[in-house]
Amino acid sequence: MLFAASQIEGCGWLKLGSRLILAAANAWVIDLIRSRPAMSAVYNPEADTKAEIEKLELEARELRKRIQAATQERYRQALSGELTEIQGNIARLQERLP
């Protein structure tokens, strides 16, 4: 894409022969791209929920490992409480899925 110099402020231009090209990506285009919603959020809203479930399952797996490695009972209890909370969050998210 070529833009008139008046359209893009503060953008570095590089002149090659008679053509003007952008020397680097400009903030205007990047802001335009970032302002649009992600495709998965528009066409597949379940994808975000599935990704969150996967993230929580990974956290739960790590917590189980930490529980097994814990040497003191109070740490096991605290970690078990966190694990129970994460499992509850996973269950609530799974209920949202069709």
pLDDT digits (tens, 9 = 90+) for 35-62: 665 555 566 778 889 999 999 999 999 9
Query: Rounded to whole angstroms, how far apart are CA atoms 11 and 19?
Result: 16
More confident residue, 29 or 77: 77
pLDDT digits (tens, 9 = 90+) for 1-47: 444 444 444 444 444 444 444 434 445 555 555 666 555 556 677 88
Query: Rounded to whole angstroms, how far apart are CA atoms 49 and 27?
Result: 31
Cα distances from 18 to residues 10, 36, 41, 45, in angstroms, run: 21, 34, 43, 47
Nearest of 54, 82, 43, 51 to residue 66 by alpha carbon:
82
Q: What pLDDT is recorded for position 86?
A: 96
pTM given for the model: 0.55
87 band by pLDDT with thresholds 50, 70 and 90: very high
Q: What residue segments make up the domains of the chain, in order of their start?
A: 1-36, 41-96
- pLDDT of residue 74 exceeding 90, the answer is yes
